[in-house]
Amino acid sequence: MLTTANAAKARILIYSATRDFRHDSIPTAIEALKAKQDAINAQFDNTEDQTQFTDDNLSGFDTILFLSTTGEVLDQAGKDAFQKYLDLGGTFVGIHSASDTLRNTTFYINELGALFDYHPVLQNFTVDVVDTTHPSTSMLPVIWNVQDEAYNFKSDPRGIGATVILAANESSYIDTGVHQNQGTPHPLAWFQEKGAGVESGGVAGRSFYTSLGHLNETWHARGISWVLSGNTTRAFNSSGLVGNAQSDISGSAQSNSNAPSKTGSTSSTSTTGNSQPANSQVS
């Protein structure tokens, strides 16, 4: 939970557009996240409209969260706005098939950490908590039994500077596929203190990714809290270039000459977007 004394309520944009496989759990996941927003002093907005990815709109959010997105969910204008947002200190959270998204967009892959390769069938398996001290994992048992999809990745996220905090115990489940070089232990969730998707000269905010898709709202909310507490956005740092510039909890206004004329027009009700499912390897 965030404890920053002068923190305003953080604004988080959930983006759940899909162009390939679509998870039926998306609406449930959105509601579960929103149920936790007061606990982390945040406001969740959600959309599937790629036209919301503009400089002006994104500048009002402290975190952009890709929830089970798949495929080419942004046009070039949206990608450019997202890149600029990250360069200005914006933060990022990816959940589940966010790693099967924008597969040819280098800055996104770096900000995320690694792309999805394949997964074996849904089954029970054991998750090893690699780092029990991180705020997102401190409430978890060292050995965590889950029913989920044990994602495999096309590269090792540690190669771009990510720190793995959850790993799949490969002896606890059946996987007949051929792994690519994703490193050891088998990564399932990781973080970046400074997201690698930022261009040279930019202000790198935090990035967090989890491949686990059957939503555990406490685990996910704590990961989001950790990303926000990097203090690179306006909700926690009046010098931030993006984020919510509302008054702090003591009631005094935070001023920032870079504040946008509007803080985002995204509705709190999800739009349908272009979400027709197509053949995909994710499920």
| pLDDT of the residue at 40 | 93
Cβ atoms of 118 and 152 closer than 8 Å: yes
Residue 85, CB half-sphere, CA atoms under 13 Å: how many?
30
Q: Is the peptide bond preceding residue 187 cis, with omega within 30 degrees of 0?
A: no
Average pLDDT, the chain: 87
Copy the structure tokens of residue 167. 């790993």
Average pLDDT per 10 consecutive residues for the chain, totaling 283 residues: 60 98 94 93 97 98 98 98 98 98 98 97 95 93 92 98 97 95 97 98 98 83 94 94 70 34 37 36 44
Q: Give the tens place of pLDDT for each residue, 45-62.
A: 999 999 999 999 999 999
Copy the structure tokens of residue 66. 């890709």
Domain regions of the chain by residue span: 10-228
What is the C-alpha to C-alpha distance for residues 194 and 202, in angstroms, rounded to an integer? 11
- Structure pTM? 0.86
What is the C-alpha to C-alpha distance for residues 282 and 5, in angstroms, rounded to an integer? 41
Could you tell me which CATH class the domain 10-228 is placed in?
alpha beta
What is the C-alpha to C-alpha distance for residues 202 and 92, in angstroms, rounded to an integer? 15
Cβ atoms of 42 and 220 closer than 8 Å: no
| pLDDT of the residue at 245 | 85
- Identity of the amino acid at 172: S
What is the C-alpha to C-alpha distance for residues 196 and 217, in angstroms, rounded to an integer? 26
- Burial class of residue 155, CB neighbours in 10 A (0-12, 13-18, 19+): middle
